């Protein structure tokens, strides 16, 4: 895919699932990557160096806990000090809690999910967008969910936090357009990841039965949409939510 | 370039104004210093001084003089 070669992307949640695949697709398309993850891990670093060598791109691991505002700030300071441009931000990292009914979901649990899925994403975006403003260009892609649009699958607090991501995406697209920064969201459906495994199995089967393509999606299929929206191929697309759900 | 010169340059370049307009300049006094221009100024200052503003300080940054006061805080360490 043209339009990513030579760009530098900050990608969160790169140690597993969709984030890991976004990292791989970006590298395969010639992008350098700041690979954000919570914990330093030898296996993870080995994988990064392999992907880097195979694709002749630079991959810089950045470790921070998204639940700690100071760690987010310190991580962005490290990115700034490399003096590289930041052309793309892909906010993938998120959490989902075990399935409970609405009436049995505590406010504390809801706040925990919102903290990671919305507020931490927002804080990181505030910092990175300022780098993009000084460059007068950039592209931001946020991972939402079809749960935010359809109300299913997943839990109340997850769906609500991902709906907040969509609202933020649309507002930010308007605000950052003056700085030549595009902001879009990808809303995956049922995807074959660890997080997908937390969905109630009965509910999962019901949803797959409703999917036109009658299967779960792969992390790579979501990553491809992220790559497209991040690239120059999507240069006139902003404020949009692209469903990657196999047709529901 | 001194810190004051860097500070002034960020305003002059971002808002396309002259040095004699800086003293007493307040947020929204001129068309260029609107909310969009404000973020451009913040980004320019972050680049110039290799710092990252806290959101509360971005909100408080209401004038040319107030900006100097904020940058002089310990966490940013800019001396004028």
Is residue A164 pLDDT above 80, yes or no? yes
When scoring A134, A135, A138, A171 by the number of chain B Cβ atoms within 10 A, the one with the most, hence best to mutate, is: A134
Is residue A191 pLDDT above 80, yes or no? yes
Measure CB to CB from residue A133 to each of B40, B50, B55 and give the nearest one.
B40
- Tracing tokens 């052309």 back to the chain, one arrives at A87
Choice between B6 and A206, residue whose per-residue pLDDT is larger: B6
- Tracing tokens 């396309």 back to the chain, one arrives at B16
Measure CB to CB from residue B43 to each of A81, A130, A178 and give the nearest one.
A130
- Distance to chain B for A69, nearest Cα, Å: 11
Q: At what angle do helices B35-49 and A121-135 cross, to 10 degrees?
A: 80
For A8-244, CATH number?
3.40.50.720
Choice between A203 and A164, residue whose per-residue pLDDT is larger: A164
Is residue A154 pLDDT above 90, yes or no? no
- Distance to chain B for A176, nearest Cα, Å: 8
pLDDT recorded at residue A155: 84
Q: Does A130 touch chain B (CB under 8 A)?
A: yes
Please enumerate, as own/partner, the contacts of A201-209 that have beta carbons within 8 Å and a separation of 24 or more: A203/A99, A203/A152, A203/A153, A204/A153, A207/A152, A207/A153, A207/A248
Q: At what angle do helices A107-114 and A156-176 cross, to 10 degrees?
A: 40
**CB–CB contact B42 A130 (8 Å):** yes
| Segment A119-140, tens digit of pLDDT | 999 999 999 999 999 999 999 9
Q: Three-state SS string across A2-46, please?
A: CCCCCCEEEECCCCCHHHHHHHHHHHHCCCEEEEEECCCCHHHHH
A102 falls in which pLDDT band (50, 70, 90)? Answer: confident
A197 falls in which pLDDT band (50, 70, 90)? Answer: low
pLDDT recorded at residue A11: 98
8 Å CB contact between A131 and A80: yes
**CB–CB contact A81 B50 (8 Å):** yes
Domain residue spans in chain B? 3-71
B36-52 as b/e: b if 16+ CB within 10 A: ebbbbbbbbbbbbbebb
DSSP bridge partners of B63 = B26
A100 falls in which pLDDT band (50, 70, 90)? Answer: confident
Domain residue spans in chain A? 8-244
Q: Does A83 touch chain B (CB under 8 A)?
A: no
Measure CB to CB from residue A134 to each of B36, B47, B55 and give the nearest one.
B47
Q: Does A170 touch chain B (CB under 8 A)?
A: no
**CB–CB contact A178 B36 (8 Å):** yes
Report residue B73: phi and psi, to 5°.
-60, 155
Reading the block at residue A185, the tokens are: 């969201």
Distance of alpha carbon A229 from alpha carbon A242, whole angstroms: 9
Chain A residues near residue B47 by CB distance under 8 angstroms: 134
Q: How far is CA A110 from CA A107, A147, A163, in A?
A: 5, 15, 13
Rounded to two decimals, the ipTM of the complex is 0.85
CATH 2.60.40.60 fits B3-71, yes or no: no
What does chain A come to in residues?
Answer: 248
């Amino acid at each position: 895919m043209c339009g990513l070669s030579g760009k530098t992307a900050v990608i969160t949640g790169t140690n597993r699932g969709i984030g890991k695949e976004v990292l791989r697709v970006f590298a395969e398309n010639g992008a350098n990557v700041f690979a954000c993850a919570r914990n330093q891990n030898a296996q993870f670093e080995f994988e990064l160096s392999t992907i880097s060598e195979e694709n002749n791109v630079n991959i810089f691991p950045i470790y921070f806990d998204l639940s700690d505002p100071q760690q987010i700030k310190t991580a962005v300071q490290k990115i700034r000090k490399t003096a590289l441009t930041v052309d793309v931000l892909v906010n993938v990292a998120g959490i989902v809690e075990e399935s409970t009914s609405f009436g049995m979901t505590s406010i504390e649990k809801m706040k925990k999910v919102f903290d990671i899925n919305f507020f931490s994403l927002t804080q990181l975006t505030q910092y990175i967008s300022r780098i993009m403003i000084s460059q007068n260009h950039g592209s931001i892609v946020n991972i939402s969910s079809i749960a935010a649009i359809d109300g299913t699958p997943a839990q109340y607090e997850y769906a609500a936090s991902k709906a907040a991501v969509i609202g933020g995406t649309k507002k930010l697209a308007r605000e950052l357009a003056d700085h030549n920064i595009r902001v879009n969201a990808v809303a995956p459906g049922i995807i074959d990841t660890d997080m997908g495994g937390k969905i109630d199995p009965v509910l999962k089967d019901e949803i797959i039965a409703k999917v036109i393509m009658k299967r779960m999606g792969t992390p790579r299929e979501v990553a491809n949409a992220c790559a497209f929206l991040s690239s120059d191929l999507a240069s006139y697309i902003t404020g949009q939510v692209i469903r990657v759900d196999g047709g529901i | 370039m001194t810190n004051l010169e860097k500070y002034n340059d960020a305003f002059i370049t971002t808002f396309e104004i002259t040095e004699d307009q800086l003293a007493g300049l307040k947020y929204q006094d001129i068309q260029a210093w609107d909310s969009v221009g404000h973020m451009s100024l913040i980004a320019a200052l972050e680049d110039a001084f290799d710092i990252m503003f806290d959101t509360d300080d971005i909100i408080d940054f209401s004038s040319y003089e107030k900006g100097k006061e904020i940058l002089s805080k310990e966490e940013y360490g800019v001396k004028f």
